[in-house]
Amino acid sequence: MARVLISTFGFDESKVLRALRWLPYDRLVLLAGGKSLREPGLRKLQAAERAGGCTVEVVRVDPFDFTSCFYGALGAIERTRKAGHDVRVNVSGGTKVLADAALLASFQAGVEAWHCEDRPLRLPVLKGVTFPDYLRPVHKAVLASVEKPLPATRIVERLSADGYRESSVQSAITWLRGEDLVTVEIQGGIAIVSRDPRTAWFARALL
Amino acid sequence: MPSIKSTEGLERVVFYHSAHDKSRAARTRVMQFCSTLDVPATPVELSDAFNLLEIAARIRQDVVKVRQEGLGPIRFNIAGGTRLMSSAALLVCVLEGIPTTYVHDETYKEIQLPLIRMNYADRLSERQKEILAYLVAHRERPPSETALARALGVHKSTMNHHVKQLLEKGVVEVAPDPSDTRAHLIRAAPGAELLVG
């Protein structure tokens, strides 16, 4: 099992180099984007890794767009884990948005997160504990069924056919609404359930 | 400021800033803005805006206090401040399950990060929380596994099982005992205070 270090990266390679010194790794994945891809810092890091017989994978993100950074980080974590590797995330480089999105992705996926400045600091992410653990199967089933807005009655019908009790589905809709993961709007006397447009990207990542 | 404008029924603003001159100047502007909206505002100056865990501990302490006073619900905008202030605020929001907002640097568009309103530490069992709380309280003099079992009235093998699970979750560390080369000490990982404080 290879140890993969996923690190946020901006312009300053020293922030990543500190993490490389403290956190043992076999492969390096950088989350970076924008101008930082053309800066000497990235070339220096790639050269240093090449000299050590390693390669650097760069996952491109828009470093000022939270959603892009979050999906970039979560995608890199999940791909690496699927390949059976051990993952750590370092959030000390890059923009504020990139660092925060990578931290949130680490929480969501339950992987070690570190901040390496003057000393390596492990952040209190519980390894192996993921956000989807907080959702019951019926919550996930409701979220999955509202990829497009649907009347609540249709959701109940669909999920009842899958073996869920009507009352469980209804209380799941209420719970998800309370968590801002779905919205319920009355249109022509019918309750329409949809993924909250502001949070649809996050809800998708929970499934 | 976009979050202050867009929050319906806003009753109170608490904001954190560094001791930097620019940050203090911004504090004055935020106070003026809140005053025009007739919303009481409390600025909190952080003495070290680059110490992630210290900032997180301060924010969490305030969040707990607000909840104890029965005020709320709370909404957090994590976009401002230093990188570490922002990350510290996000940490607290995840741990405490607080709805969180990000404001885009250029477009000022708000993004909701709908963190599930959970107590993150609830993924630890009551016994694990008890062990972690003990280790946090005894951070200066970490116990051996045997001493820990004795202190909490748990059988040694049961304690070994809990310590293994806490190790897997990454919230405790094992270090050699400097006074006995055969023994090991169990220590709470940095930041564990945020889970059980």
ipTM of the complex, rounded to two decimals: 0.89
pLDDT band at B197 (very low <50, low <70, confident <90, very high): low
DSSP string for A21-74: HHS--SEEEEEE-GGGGGSHHHHHHHHHHHHTT--EEEEE--TT-HHHHHHHHH
B120 contact residues in A (CB cutoff 8 A): 107, 126, 129
pLDDT of B71 over the 90 cut: no
Q: Does B112 touch chain A (CB under 8 A)?
A: yes
Q: Where are the domains of chain A?
A: 3-122, 135-206
Q: Given this model, what pLDDT does residue B110 score?
A: 83
Return the higher-pLDDT residue of B105 and B132: B132
The reported pLDDT for the residue numbered A150 is 96
B19 close to A (CB below 8 A): no
Residues of chain A with pLDDT under 50: none
Task: Locate the chain B residue with the closest alpha carbon to A93.
Answer: B83
Give CA–CA dist B162/B145, Å, rounded.
Answer: 10
Tell me the residue type at B151: A
**Yes or no, beta carbons of A64 and B112 under 8 Å apart:** no
User: Which candidate, B145, B97, B147, places its Cα nearest to that of B121?
Assistant: B97
Predicted confidence band of residue B102 (pLDDT cuts 50, 70, 90): confident
Residue B76 has pLDDT above 80, yes or no: yes
- The owner of tokens 């998800």 is A176
Optimal mutation site among A64, A86, A92, A125, interface B, most CBs of chain B within 10 A: A125
Q: Is the pLDDT of residue B186 over 80?
A: yes
Contact criterion met (CB < 8 Å) for A199 and B112: yes
Q: How confident is the model at residue B131 (pLDDT cuts 50, 70, 90)?
A: very high
Domains of chain B: 2-118 (3.40.50.10770), 121-196 (1.10.10.10)
A135-206 folds as Arc Repressor Mutant, subunit A (1.10.10)
Q: Is the pLDDT of residue B158 over 70?
A: yes
Q: Are B171 and B188 in contact (CB under 8 A)?
A: yes
Mutate which of B6, B77, B91 to test chain A, going by most A C-beta atoms within 10 A?
A: B91
Read off the pTM: 0.90
Give the A:B interface size as CB pairs under 8 Å.
96
The radius of gyration computed from the CA coordinates of chain A, to the nearest angstrom, equals: 20
In the predicted model, what is the mean pLDDT of residues B166-185?
91
Any idea of the CA torsion for A161, A167, A173, A176, to the nearest 10 degrees? -120
Q: Does B8 touch chain A (CB under 8 A)?
A: no
- Dist. CA A193–CA A134, nearest whole Å: 21
Q: Selecting from 3.40.50.10770, 3.40.710.10, 3.90.25.10, 3.40.50.360, what CATH number does the domain A3-122 have? A: 3.40.50.10770
Mutation to test the B interface, candidates A8, A100, A117, A195, most B Cβ within 10 Å: A100
pLDDT at position B166 is 96
CA distance B159 to B176: 18
